[in-house]
Amino acid sequence: GDSVTQMEGPVTLSEEAFLTINCTYTATGYPSLFWYVQYPGEGLQLLLKATKADDKGSNKGFEATYRKETTSFHLEKGSVQVSDSAVYFCALRDRGSTLGRLYFGRGTQLTVWP
Amino acid sequence: DAGITQSPRHKVTETGTPVTLRCHQTENHRYMYWYRQDPGHGLRLIHYSYGVKDTDKGEVSDGYSVSRSKTEDFLLTLESATSSQTSVYFCAIMSSPEATGELFFGEGSRLTVL
């Protein structure tokens, strides 16, 4: 079945450090891939997405490239800020699914210190 | 921001009592979902709905039931709450999988079962 595996946290970085959060997936079809972010006390919100192989999603300085050959969608940011402290979730949706169900990874807690 | 309201936002109850969580949307989206979020598990799908009176089970549906009598409301009921159902519950909506596939989340309902 479809599933997502993302790196265990927590991740602790100093401000302006480089961030990578690894995400790999297993899917029977041709999934769309997403990164969601959850700030403290809030619901999840979409950070970026990619719908086909080699697409790059980007938003707020974050990027992720859909790599079909390695079944990966790693999240990167060149210079993190304290305000990026949050929990990050990788997710996939089989584009062949008519029910729109998303499968989420377990989340990675990121803390950025000034 | 997507118009999603969850109620109550916080609830403390005792084992064996019934609990109903409400999700209300003003977006007229067809698809609605209930997830629970627990440390180490990320988000897990409880139930979802793809239209009025059309619902189906997710991966952790035991002990939960849902109802959707109108487009805007999706109710999650715990018939007899147990301590294992202490969690944060998130409602999410989607316009259509054929479109962006983006989920919009409510702010969550924190349930504590004593």
Distance, CA of A45 to CA of B34 (rounded, Å): 15
pLDDT band at B98 (very low <50, low <70, confident <90, very high): low
Distance, CA of A18 to CA of A78 (rounded, Å): 5
Close Cβ partners of A56 (under 8 Å, ≥ 6 residues apart): A50, A63, A64, A65, A66
Distance from CA of A54 to the nearest CA of B (A): 18
Question: Looking at beta carbons, which residues of chain A come within 8 Å of B43?
Answer: 44, 89, 104, 107
Instruction: Taking residues B60-77, report their average pLDDT.
Output: 96
Instruction: Taking residues A7-26, report their average pLDDT.
Output: 95
pLDDT digits (tens, 9 = 90+) for B30-59: 899 999 999 888 899 999 998 999 999 998
Q: What is the pLDDT of residue A9?
A: 85
User: Testing the interface with B: which of A97, A99, A103, A109 to mutate, by most B Cβ within 10 A?
Assistant: A99
- The pLDDT > 70 percentage for chain A reads 95
pLDDT band at B99 (very low <50, low <70, confident <90, very high): low
Q: Does A96 have pLDDT greater than 80?
A: no
B101:A105 CB<8 A: no
Instruction: Taking residues A34-56, report their average pLDDT.
Output: 93
Nearest to B47 by CA among B92, B16, B12: B92
pLDDT band at B2 (very low <50, low <70, confident <90, very high): low
Q: What is the pLDDT of residue B103?
A: 87
User: Testing the interface with B: which of A30, A92, A102, A109 to mutate, by most B Cβ within 10 A?
Assistant: A102
Q: What is the pLDDT of residue B61?
A: 95
pLDDT digits (tens, 9 = 90+) for A71-84: 999 999 999 999 99
Which is higher by pLDDT, A42 or B25? B25
Question: Looking at beta carbons, which residues of chain A come within 8 Å of B31?
Answer: 99-100
A100:B45 CB<8 A: no
A42:B107 CB<8 A: yes
Distance from CA of A62 to the nearest CA of B (A): 18
Do A65 and A56 form a contact (C-beta atoms < 8 A)? yes
How many Cβ pairs closer than 8 A exist between chain A and B? 64
N residues, chain A: 114
Question: Looking at beta carbons, which residues of chain A come within 8 Å of B96?
Answer: 100
Do A92 and A27 form a contact (C-beta atoms < 8 A)? yes
Question: Looking at beta carbons, which residues of chain B come within 8 Å of A32?
Answer: 101
Q: Does B28 have pLDDT greater than 70?
A: yes
B43:A44 CB<8 A: yes
Lowest-confidence pick of A10-14, A37-41, B67-71, B99-103: B99-103
Distance, CA of B54 to CA of A91 (rounded, Å): 24
